[in-house]
């Protein structure tokens, strides 16, 4: 296998063979946005003759539960092929999420790539056929190494207008969030975010947005382009090391035709192409939608209130 570098959304992947292992070095953000493409790429690397894989996480700046779920799936595939997967050199933000999700108890994690290649684990045999013996490393052991330094970026005050816009984008796609969350673990946080958005407290809005992001680190979501874009935009506003929000995460309408969406006895004019599925606009079950429609609270960007008699 020749060294290969490829990229997925927000993440680059560099692959090379070393001493009978496939080394996949990730660089960037391991989140819900990159999950589908990364899954295909990692599964494509594994085959019976190359079923021992080490994932180098030293240059991953952010991870959430959806991104880490991809690694779990790759480990299962490697096991079915007679091999195994090991994680190497997770940076502090990634190691934190591994502990929050409990994956540090299920996966073999090593401080360096070389340690992952040369150390024993789960009683496996090395690629040269010799048995791993003498260390007794159990399943799910975290092999800690020296702490890695912070990236150097500092937390900055979130602009109130930008936060409200990012929150509005999440609420406008709440139906996509609901579909991506079949167990409804995000529903209470989305309800709280909608209430904070309808209010006037910047502190409450910031607090509820952080609460939503904290659930992302613990609970995986089914991939959805709308969820990936809105979650990434909100996180990059609040995460001190994620960098500025991407323009793609905030698509703005430009002179799009309006359409009326019926909500009970009222209609809301929405900029955007018609949805021929006749699916009613919804924030989510239980959302204080009247605050967003009747004018008793701030309205969502991209909507114009209209009551049709």
Domains annotated on the chain, with CATH? 4-118 (3.30.750.24), 160-306 (no CATH)
- Predicted confidence band of residue 10 (pLDDT cuts 50, 70, 90): confident
For the segment 114-127, the average pLDDT, to the nearest whole number, is 69
User: How many angstroms from the chain centroid is the CA of residue 271?
Assistant: 28
Both tokens assigned to 162? 């930008």
Q: Please, is 112 exposed, middle or buried when counting C-beta atoms within 10 Å of its C-beta (0-12, 13-18, 19+)?
A: middle
Rounded to whole angstroms, how far apart are CA atoms 31 and 14? 17
Cβ atoms of 41 and 8 within 8 Å: the answer is: yes
pLDDT per residue over 158-170, tens digit each?
688 999 999 999 9
Q: What is the pLDDT of residue 120?
A: 73
Half-sphere exposure of 179 (CA within 13 A, CB side): 11
End-to-end CA distance of the chain: 68
For the segment 96-119, the average pLDDT, to the nearest whole number, is 94
Q: What is the pLDDT of residue 121?
A: 62
- The per-residue b/e assignment along 225-245, b for 16 or more CB within 10 angstroms, e otherwise, is ebbbbbbbbbbbbbbebbeeb
pLDDT per residue over 250-265, tens digit each?
444 444 444 444 434 4
Q: What is the pLDDT of residue 6?
A: 59
134: left (phi over 0), alpha (psi -120 to 50) or beta: left
């Amino acid at each position: 296998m020749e060294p290969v570098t490829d990229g997925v959304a927000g993440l680059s992947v560099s692959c090379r063979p070393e001493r009978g292992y496939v080394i996949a070095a990730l660089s960037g953000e391991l989140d819900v946005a990159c999950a589908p493409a990364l899954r295909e790429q990692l599964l494509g690397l594994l085959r019976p003759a190359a079923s021992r894989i080490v994932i180098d996480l030293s240059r991953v700046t952010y991870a959430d539960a959806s991104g880490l779920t991809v690694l779990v799936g790759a480990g299962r595939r490697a096991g079915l092929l007679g091999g195994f997967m090991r994680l190497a050199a997770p940076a502090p933000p990634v190691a934190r999420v591994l502990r929050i999700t409990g994956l540090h108890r299920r996966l073999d994690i090593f401080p360096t790539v070389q340690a992952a290649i040369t150390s024993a684990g789960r009683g496996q045999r090395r690629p040269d056929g010799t048995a791993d013996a003498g260390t007794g490393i159990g399943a799910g052991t975290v092999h800690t190494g020296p702490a890695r330094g912070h990236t150097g970026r500092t937390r900055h005050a979130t602009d109130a207008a930008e936060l409200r816009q990012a929150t509005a984008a999440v609420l406008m796609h709440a139906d996509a969030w609901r579909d991506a969350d079949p167990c409804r673990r995000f529903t209470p946080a989305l309800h709280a975010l909608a209430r904070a958005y309808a209010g006037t407290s910047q502190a409450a809005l910031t607090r509820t947005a952080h609460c939503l992001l904290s659930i992302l680190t613990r609970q995986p979501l089914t991939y959805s382009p709308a969820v990936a874009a809105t979650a990434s935009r909100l996180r990059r506003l609040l995460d001190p090391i994620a960098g500025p929000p991407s323009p793609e995460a905030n698509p703005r309408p430009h002179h799009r035709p309006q359409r009326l969406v019926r909500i009970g006895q009222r209609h809301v004019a929405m900029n955007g192409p018609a949805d021929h599925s006749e699916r009613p606009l919804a924030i989510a079950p239980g959302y204080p939608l009247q605050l967003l429609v009747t004018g008793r609270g701030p309205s969502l960007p991209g909507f114009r209130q209209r009551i049709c008699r």
